Amino acid sequence: MRRDRTRLWVAGAATGAAGMVVAQATVWALRAEIGPVESVAAAVRDGTPGVVAVRLVHLVGHLDKPLLVGGTVAILLAICGLAGALSRRRMLYADLIFLALAAIGLLAIQRQPNATVASAVAVIAGLVTWLLVLRVLVRPTLTGSQSRRDFLLRTGGVVVGAGVLAVAGRWVGRGRRKVEQARRLLRLPVTPGTEPPHASLGVRGIAPWRTPNGDFYRIDTTLVPPAIQPTDWQLRIHGMVDQEVTVTYQDLVGRPFAEGWVTLACVSNEVGGDLIGNAWWSGVPVRELLAQAGIQQGADAVLQTSQDGWTCGTPLAALTDDRNALLAVAMNGRPLPVEHGFPVRMVVPGLYGYVSATKWLVDLEVTRFDEIDAYWTKRGWAEEGPIKTQSRIDVPRDDAEVTAGPLRIGGSAWAQHTGIERVEFQLDGGPWRTADLGAVPKGARDTWVQWTGQVEVGAGRHTLVVRATDAAGRTQTAVRSDVLPDGATGWHTVTFDAS
């Protein structure tokens, strides 16, 4: 009896481990950036009261990450052990625990900005593993006479199987190595871009003015980012044109380049959100290629298609006017990272990514809006997606605890392709005050701008609001609207405590 009970706990924990390994193997195989275990650990971290977290970090120093993940895994294993034990009463109880854990995993993933469908697929793979493996491990114990040898064999088999899968997952992910290699060996006629003086105000906690490639937000529908060799890449331009044009990578990088600072933003960026980044992009102005093809009367749109079949419709005018919409091959002076569209993507100043920023771009069809139905517009998002003017408070963070007295505040504001004229902030419903603005490149209107200000805060709870006015004199609306169908509006507000 006691022996059976122990076996059920062990079987539950082994099942738990197998599911987590399968989930992680899926993350590796699909090259997802973040998996369920990490996401749950992050949720635990964010859910830990600030004081406790700070204390912990001070106690354990840079060991906080492994401890956090290790601790989370240990707790999960214990819960899985409990599921094993409960399976004696009813298998359903165990299944419900696994379902609940999977639901927590999905919720945790969903709050990670760099999570993709692949992260969710990993949860499902883990859940299926849990449901199946538990049955394999506990059935014999539950139905009575099981030898110690049989129990050890089954449990051992599951552990070994999971290990093999983990190795296989990493190996499959490595299949993309060759493209990474080709990418590293490329020498492109690009410059790294120099951040203009005073673009960064040097306030701790404000997102850096230039977003490093590794920190740049990533949004796409792909499970596995397409791995395209530059030598295999071609772009076809067709539709309402005088003559079809096909360009190879070599042909493209042999043309005159243009470079510039452009801040990309996602339409699903909530007010105050971080689905936005600023980079120095290098490539060939797409209008040159469109001109070469010869655009016919009546066209007003370009349907862009990526190698994995994602599509978006872009106003023809935005690709042909003087804003330098680019067939970009480099980001911050480096060949595009695979996740950001290697070898070629589109970058159009002023438009949300979902209507313009096609990664792994392979096809441009000159057409009319009334003849196309692109990926996101089919799903209820607006046909046209100009980026809305927004401002964000980066310091203090929402719910922060600060020292009473003078407080430096700041953040970023953007009105791509119009430019920011003014940023104002308001503390505790008092008068609006004008913020100091960082510099932007000369004549540029396509990047965000940093803002900062100084306030005096007494002990207690405070509310800080920010709003921006664009170069055309339009102040962003206070009316809160959802990201669907064409981008969020409203003033970013944070509350914090001073003591």
The footprint of ligand MTE (CB under 6 A) covers 216-221, 264, 266, 306, 308, 310, 340, 353-354, 357-360
Query: Which C-beta is closer to ligand MTE: that of 82 or that of 265?
Result: 265
| Cα–Cα dist 318/347, whole Å | 11
181: partner contacted, choices Mo ion, ligand MTE, none (Cβ within 5-8 A by kind)? none
Nearer to Mo ion by C-beta: 354 or 448? 354
Closer by beta carbon to ligand MTE, 261 or else 360: 360
Binding partner of residue 264 among ligand MTE, Mo ion, none, CB cut-off 5 to 8 Å per kind: ligand MTE
Per-residue HEC secondary structure of the chain comes to CHHHHHHHHHHHHHHHHHHHHHHHHHHHHCCCCCCHHHHHHHHHHHHCCHHHHHHHHHHHHHHHHHHHHHHHHHHHHHHHHHHHHHCCCCHHHHHHHHHHHHHHHHHHHHCCCCCCHHHHHHHHHHHHHHHHHHHHHHHHHHCCCCCHHHHHHHHHHHHHHHHHHHHHHHHHHHCCHHHHHHHHHCCCCCCCCCCCCCCCCCCCCCCCCCCCHHHCCCCCCCCCCCCCCHHHCEEEEEECECCCEEEEHHHHHCCCCEEEEEEEECCCCCCCCCCEEEEEEEEEEHHHHHHHHCECCCCCEEEEEECCCCEEEEEHHHHHCCCCCEEEEEECCEECCHHHCCCCEEECCCECHHHCCCCCEEEEEEECHHHCCCCCHHHCCCCCCECCCEEEEEECCCCCEECCEEEEEEEEEECCCCCEEEEEEEECCCCCEECEECCCCCCCCCCCEEEEEEEEECCEEEEEEEEEEECCCCECCCCCECCCCCCCECCCEEEEEEC
Cβ nearer to ligand MTE, comparing 349 with 396:
349
In the list ligand MTE, Mo ion, none, the entry touching 357 (Cβ below 5 to 8 angstroms by class) is ligand MTE
Cβ(424)–Cβ(455) under 8 Å? no
- Residue of this chain nearest to ligand MTE (CB atom): 353
Indicate the residue among 209 and 216 with the shorter CB distance to ligand MTE: 216
Q: How far is the CB of 286 from ligand MTE (least distance, A)?
A: 15
Nearer to ligand MTE, 101 or 357 (CB): 357
Q: Which does 216 bind (CB under 5 to 8 A by kind): ligand MTE, Mo ion, none?
A: ligand MTE
Q: Which does 85 bind (CB under 5 to 8 A by kind): ligand MTE, Mo ion, none?
A: none
CB of 114 to ligand MTE, least distance (A): 9
- Residue 385 and residue 302: Cα distance in Å, rounded? 14
**274 vs 308 by CB, closer to ligand MTE:** 308
Q: Considering the complex, what minimum distance in angstroms separates the CB of residue 6 from ligand MTE?
A: 49
CB of 385 to Mo ion, least distance (A): 9
User: Shortest gap between Cβ of 20 and ligand MTE (angstroms)?
Assistant: 27
Residue 97 has phi, psi (to 5 degrees) of -65, -45
- The residue among 116 and 155 lying less far from ligand MTE, judged by its C-beta, is 116
* Residue placing its CB nearer to ligand MTE in the complex, 253 or 328: 328
Give me the residue whose beta carbon is nearest to Mo ion: 266
- Return the ∠ at Cα 409 (arms to 407 and 411), rounded to 5°: 170
Q: Give the residues lining the site for Mo ion (CB under 5 A).
A: 219, 266, 353-354
Least CB distance from residue 345 to Mo ion, whole Å? 13
Q: How far is the CB of 210 from ligand MTE (least distance, A)?
A: 14
User: Residue 311 CB, nearest distance to Mo ion (Å)?
Assistant: 14
359 binds, among Mo ion, ligand MTE, none (CB under 5 to 8 A by kind): ligand MTE
Dihedrals phi, psi of 272, to nearest 5 degrees: 85, 0
Q: How are strands ordered across the β-sheet holding 234-239?
A: 245-248, 234-239, 361-367, 301-306, 311-315
- Residue 233: name its binding partner from Mo ion, ligand MTE, none (Cβ under 5 to 8 Å by kind): none
Least separation in angstroms between residue 310's CB and ligand MTE is 4
Task: Specify the residue, 81 or 349, whose C-beta has the smaller distance to ligand MTE.
Answer: 349
Q: 126 or 225, CB closer to ligand MTE?
A: 225
Q: Select from ligand MTE, Mo ion, none the partner in contact with residue 358, using the beta carbon and a kind-dependent cut-off of 5 to 8 Å.
A: ligand MTE
Instruction: Name which of ligand MTE, Mo ion, none residue 221 binds, using a CB cut-off of 5 to 8 Å depending on partner kind.
Output: ligand MTE
Select the binding partner of residue 238 from Mo ion, ligand MTE, none (C-beta < 5 to 8 A, by kind): none
Least distance (Å) from Mo ion to the CB of residue 350? 14
Q: Kindly state the smallest distance separating residue 476's Cβ from ligand MTE, in Å.
A: 20
